[in-house]
Chains A and B, each alone.
Chain A
Amino acid sequence: MITKTVLADTIFQTIKQGSCYISPDVHYAFEEAVRSESAEVPARALTDTLASLDRSRERISPACPDTGWPLFFCKVGNEAVIEGGILALEEISKEMVARATKEGFLRSTMKHPLSGDDPGTNVGVNVPGFTYKFVPGTDLQITFVAKGGGSECFGGTRYRVVAFADGTAGIKKTIVDWYIAAARAGAICPPAILGIGIGGTSDIATHLAKEAASLRIIGSHHPDTEIAAMENDLTDALNGLGIGCMGLGGKTSVFAVHVEYSYTHIAGIAVAMSANCMVARRATVRIDDAGQVEQLADPHWFNGR
């Protein structure tokens, strides 16, 4: 059985790690971008950001003060036994978000949308967010994502319907136009990891986009060759825009484009975009039936990716 004690300790450590430790794939993407950048200003932006991220890890201090929305993505084994069930998992997650906020690993960012009232805990109506996927087995896998406000609020998150008649050209044009509008002046903290959801209802498309942006690692490819080609083509095209790190110009404008799709009603094709900022904060752990905890570099949220 996965006990409440193990859950509390593991979830707290995962929040701390998600906020303070950059993932290996993101670190590598920064190193590559530093190597390829020749213009002085974006080169400095990339180098200084990487230096700051490395120091955040040493000091166990947030990679960015905007720790954004606390989101939990859980892969729950169909036979997993959790003390107190899923309700205990949610209750403990909320308590640990509040604790991490009090101790300065998260900023007290979540407020009432109209009054701006700040509970000081990041816990309130419908936050933190919980998303579940049920899988075979007895393990419980938890990914904590600190979803930054820049990439969420300033045009990095979009939705529209494209006619089937407009085809992939219509989908790609929308993404180019959205990305330019969102990344200019560094609004979404580029180079972003861009998640694209195609098909489904609006909520299915936006979920796919968010999960593709936040849970797939840089360098992963969709197994469908047509989709993988779309990912590569969009990455190349967006990197040619000259937006650069924090919109200062330069060669690297996106770290990755991840596309996921759903079968759909082809009267209109839902297209959703979700951008994750360049520091792309997430941490994943797996807890087995005996309470053993293992950290994972890749959430493998989608089958094999």
Chain B
Amino acid sequence: MALYNLNIPVTDDEVRTLRIGDMVSFSGSAWTCRSRLHRYIFDEGHRLPFSTENQNVLIHVGPIIVRENNAWRLVSFTPTSSIRFEKWGARSVEEWKLKAIVGKTTMGPATMAAMKRFGCVHLAPVGVTPELFVDRITVKDVYLFDELGSIEASWQLHLEKIGPFIVDIDTEGNNYFEQLDRVIDDNRKDAYKKLGIPEDFEYTKLY
């Protein structure tokens, strides 16, 4: 396990060095995206209204941001579950030329394949820590606020050493959580045993 502080835009070389279990903090420009923005772009055929060239890190997050004294105030921020965007994951990696996606949980086989092909990683949060982030994030701008609502809009952010996040998908096609699954599956047998569930237990089929 290594610790990295990466500046955005992240380079292809930097991202290909990362391995599952590594911890990364990011500084620079990043943006937010959730269900409605994915649908708006990929299913409804709109174009992303900004360039991702210099901000190739996407954060799956629905922050709490309020309008006060003619300015945006970031109230709370922690990544949301990425797995529900799996349908759009591979296209977002390829078409938005992403080098990193930060989100809770992980992503599926299609996105992992795209990440391997185009050089991109997925990172998961270490805990639920909104208060450790809010002072180090500046809200720069927002797109599609009226169309999609405050949490589904695309917030343009400036990050100052936000993290650490743990790399759960690397560019070699490894997945941190899949590896843990093997350990958990072994432990499952012990759990059955402790609870007196016979090894050959079968459910009566009621429907």
Report which A residues bind B (CB closer than 8 A): 40-41, 44-49, 51-53, 55-56, 59, 61-67, 102-104, 107-109, 111, 116-118, 120, 149-150, 153-154, 161-163, 165-166, 169-170, 172-173, 176-177, 180, 184-187, 189, 233-234, 236-238, 240-243, 245-249, 268, 277-279
Contact A243-B184, Cβ < 8 Å, known A118-B150, A120-B149, A154-B105: yes
The complex places the Cα of A111 from the Cα of B21 at a distance, in Å, of 36
Contact A56-B128, Cβ < 8 Å, known A104-B73, A184-B180, A240-B191: no
The complex places the Cα of A153 from the Cα of B198 at a distance, in Å, of 31
Contact A176-B191, Cβ < 8 Å, known A104-B64, A186-B124: yes
- B-chain residues with CB within 8 Å of residue A102 when the two chains form the complex: 66
| Structural contact, A44 and B35, CB atoms closer than 8 A | no
| Structural contact, B127 and A116, CB atoms closer than 8 A | no
Contact A49-B127, Cβ < 8 Å, known A104-B73, A150-B81, A237-B194: yes
Contact A242-B187, Cβ < 8 Å, known A65-B77, A150-B81: yes
Q: Does B126 contact A (CB under 8 A)?
A: yes
| Structural contact, B131 and A109, CB atoms closer than 8 A | no
Of B62, B76, B126, B191, which one neighbours A237 at CB under 8 angstroms? B191
- A-chain residues with CB within 8 Å of residue B152 when the two chains form the complex: 116, 118
B153 → chain A, closest Cβ, in Å?
10
Q: Does B36 contact A (CB under 8 A)?
A: yes
Q: Mark contacts of B109-149 with chain A using CB atoms, 8 A cut-off: 1 yes-contact digit, 0 otherwise.
A: 00000000000000011111111101000000000000011
| Structural contact, A41 and B187, CB atoms closer than 8 A | no
| Structural contact, B127 and A241, CB atoms closer than 8 A | no
| Structural contact, A185 and B83, CB atoms closer than 8 A | yes
The complex places the Cα of A293 from the Cα of B51 at a distance, in Å, of 53
A279's nearest neighbour on chain B, judged by CB, is: B128
- B-chain residues with CB within 8 Å of residue A116 when the two chains form the complex: 35-36, 39, 148-149, 152
| Structural contact, A234 and B128, CB atoms closer than 8 A | no
B38 → chain A, closest Cβ, in Å?
11
Of B1, B192, B206, which one neighbours A173 at CB under 8 angstroms? B192
A154 → chain B, closest Cβ, in Å?
6
B204's nearest neighbour on chain A, judged by CB, is: A163
Of A66, A163, A180, A268, which one neighbours B80 at CB under 8 angstroms? A66
The complex places the Cα of A53 from the Cα of B36 at a distance, in Å, of 29
Chain B residues numbered 77-116 whose CB sits less than 8 Å from any CB in chain A = 77-78, 80-81, 83-84, 104-106
| Structural contact, A249 and B127, CB atoms closer than 8 A | no
Q: Does B168 contact A (CB under 8 A)?
A: yes
Contact A185-B124, Cβ < 8 Å, known A170-B201, A242-B183: yes
B128 → chain A, closest Cβ, in Å?
5
| Structural contact, B166 and A108, CB atoms closer than 8 A | no
Known pairs A233-B195, A243-B184 / 13 extra A-B pairs, C-beta < 8 Å: A61-B130, A65-B130, A103-B66, A104-B73, A107-B62, A150-B80, A165-B204, A169-B195, A170-B203, A184-B177, A240-B187, A246-B128, A248-B126
